[in-house]
Structure 1
């Protein structure tokens, strides 16, 4: 059993406001998804990052200079 820290980073961009549909304007997650992010498996997080959130219009934030 591994006690390693989570390997899939949060999609949070620091824009923490919910739209009328209840999704965060920054990361496109619902309040419940945000609350349970740390409890999700890496497979679940990866699915959100590569399928679910992009389908909602989320794009990863690329640091300046990259």
Structure 2
């Protein structure tokens, strides 16, 4: 049995409506069909989609973090013009 809903689930849209290479919106991380059919989904489905969006966001951030090269602090040639801050 589905729980009664007193409030609608707000759309996770943040107004950044561009699609990445995997087909997810870069603003809210929803797939195309999730964006276009948002109002047709039940509140339980909408909450599940928001949960999926959070997982997609964290996976994307983790991939970006792992893709950043580590700078060797001892090598001053790789440092920005202001020098070593630490």
Q: TM-score, structure 2 length as denominator?
A: 0.56
Match in the other structure for 2:53? 53
Tell me, in whole angstroms, the C-alpha distance in 2 between the residues paired with 1:57 and 1:19. 12
Query: 2:33 is paired with a residue of what secondary structure?
Result: helix
Q: Is the 8 A contact 2:34 2:49 kept in 1?
A: no
Looking at structure 1, the residues matched to 32 and 49 of structure 2 have their Cα atoms a distance apart, in angstroms, of 14
Distance in 1 (CA, whole Å) between partners of 2:27 and 2:47 is 18
Aligned match of 1:64: none
Find the counterpart in structure 2 of residue 63 from structure 1.
Answer: none
Higher helix share: 2
Q: What's the RMSD between the two structures over aligned residues? A: 1.4
Q: TM-score, normalised by structure 1?
A: 0.72
Which sections of structure 1, spanning at least 5 residues, go unmatched?
1-5, 59-66
Q: Where does structure 2 lack aligned partners over 5 or more consecutive residues?
A: 1-6, 59-86
4+ aligned runs moved over 6 Å, structure 1: none
Structure with higher Rg: it is 2
